[in-house]
A = this chain, B = another copy of it.
């Protein structure tokens, strides 16, 4: 399948991400429909020209007419949905997702789908500290990374289709990773950073800290404003890998701690120079 404007796209779950997908694709001329829990969300999406039509119940017609279905749900809700309604999906439909953990869902979902339906998983590395369609904003995809996460069951053709979707949405860089590599990468780059920010906010209850702070603390703790329902599920869905990355980070933190304790300035500066050299590669401006 090639991605072109003849394709009918159904989005299941109109939250921040689903809404942003809908906004971008409709603006670019695609026929976009939606299934989501609340009628008020459908109303909002229609009013703001984000979808052509939508339903607050699982409408088999919308599923049948779709060429591509994008699931923007919490991991366990996505799995439950496929269990309950997966049989409604027509052969030749391609489904994809936005889920932040992969090993715990990808294989299970691929095994449950009807013959001829292909699930190609993807992780758009974009978001906000807010939830809900009213914060949908396709500009979050600009300059962001998009990871396609195929398994052996996926065809090259569909991997390409999924990458084209990321490109159409405006992502800067499209990569391909296995579910295992994805989960390891995400444990370090995203889950661990959220753990750090939460731990730091919980470590000190001095009042009035905000009157004395600089931008470094503000930037570091931006993600301490966290959706506890979603993130606790993501952490537990990737438990072993996350614990492993937490261990490695703590080792590094302890090493720095000891350089301070022992007044080992050379080793301390060595770590700082390594840190500086590595960090340079992450500047967005570079590209």
Contact = CB atoms under 8 A, between A and B. Distances in A.
Interface of A: 125-127, 144-145, 147, 173, 175, 177, 185-186, 188-190, 192-206, 209-226, 228-229, 231-232, 235-236, 239, 242-243, 245-246, 248-253, 255-257, 260-261, 263, 265, 268-269, 271-276, 278-282, 284
A132 to B, nearest CB: 15
Main secondary structure of the interface of A (DSSP, over half): helix
Contacts of A268: 228, 232, 235-236
Residue of A189, A190, A276 ringed by the most chain B CB atoms within 10 A: A189
Contacts of A265: 232, 236
Contact of A200 (B193, B269, B276): B193
A248 B271 CA distance: 22
Contacts of A231: 272
Contacts of A210: 281-282
B260 A200 contact: no
Given A198-B272, A243-B257, A260-B242, A248 B213 contact: no
Nearest to A144: B214
A185 B206 contact: yes
A36 B162 CA distance: 58
B213 A282 contact: yes
B248 A211 contact: no
Contacts of A224: 275-276, 278-279
Contacts of A276: 224-226, 228
Nearest to A186: B212
A147 B188 CA distance: 35
B196 A196 contact: yes
A253 B196 contact: yes
A171 to B, nearest CB: 11
